Amino acid sequence: MCIFVDENTRTVVQGITGNVGEVQTKLMLEYGSKIVAGVTPGKGGMAVHSVPVYDNVKEAVAEHAADASILFVPPLFAKDAVIEAIDSDIKLLVVITEHIPIHDTMYMREYSRCAGARMIGPTTPGIICPGKTKIGITPANVFLEGNVGIISRSGTLLYEIAGNLSLAEIGQSSCLGIGADPVIGTDMKEILELFEKDEQTKLVVIVGEIGGVQEEEAAKFIKHEMSKPVIAYVAGKVAPREKKMGHAGAIILGEKGTAKSKMDVLIKAGVEIANKPSEIAKIARIHL
């Protein structure tokens, strides 16, 4: 089965009338996702690809029962948009928005957790259950239904690795990007817990990168709690020291957060390391 979402998940698109929201709504609908309503303040009464638009989430949910919301809103309005969705009893927030102030993300994370809601992102490409549904901006054509779960800090590497697996006729159960900011709503360890319980998922791929301690925390869970095989690829092995590498989460403190330190701790946890993305399919074939 899928984690977080499935073919029955009913989704609201916040920011549906913007260029990105409009295009991605069309692509999600074409994939079969159940997009039941859109929200843009001041645009209520419109329709985008036959999806009715409302001025606020409360109105949208009152007319169309919804389980999830995907957010294409400007960074300075993201916090209010997340709070609005949670207060309307939506339990899954997929936050695509980039460049959200870190203190806003901290508030969003805490607010969602206190409300019993789940936030994915920010800066996430979303989540896809191949053959069933996608809530996000992932290019659906590179995914294939199967038994491999993928957790990635990088959107583009998520697509590349899923594509390589699909070309090797190795399908995926659920694939999602957790986001690369220093603070995110749901971390690797939490998703590993769900993959461990998921009967469809037989193997998990972690796509990490330099900075932060996501991979180190995941390694602790893998070592003590994970029964399924895990493969990892960590980007940034040749990243020069004292250089800005783009992602807000790519912060290295001393020897912590380097690609080497992450690979070392993952190896000790029993994870098989791929030296390049193209190796993952070959390693996965051995375990499936």
What are the residue boundaries of the structural domains of the chain, listed by start? 10-120, 139-287
- Is the pLDDT at 284 greater than 80, yes or no? yes
Say if residues 77 and 18 touch (Cβ distance below 8 Å).
no
Tell me: cis bond preceding 122? Omega within 30 of 0 counts.
yes
Per-residue pLDDT of 60-106, as tens digits, reads 999 999 999 999 999 999 999 999 999 999 999 999 999 999 999 99
What is 139-287's CATH superfamily? Succinyl-CoA synthetase domains (3.40.50.261)
β-pair partners for 68: 11, 92
Indicate the pTM of the whole model. Answer: 0.93
Say if residues 215 and 267 touch (Cβ distance below 8 Å).
no
- Is the pLDDT at 248 greater than 70, yes or no? no
What is 10-120's CATH superfamily? NAD(P)-binding Rossmann-like Domain (3.40.50.720)
* Listed residue (113, 120, 147) closest to 134, CA to CA: 120
Residues tagged active-site? 247
Q: Percent of the chain scored above 70 by pLDDT? A: 93
| Distance, CA of 217 to CA of 190 (rounded, Å) | 10
- Is the pLDDT at 238 greater than 60, yes or no? no
Domains 10-120 and 139-287 share a fold: yes
Q: Percent of the chain scored above 90 by pLDDT? A: 86
Taking phi over 0 as left and psi of -120 to 50 as alpha, with beta for the rest, 109 belongs to alpha
Q: Residue 260: what pLDDT? A: 85
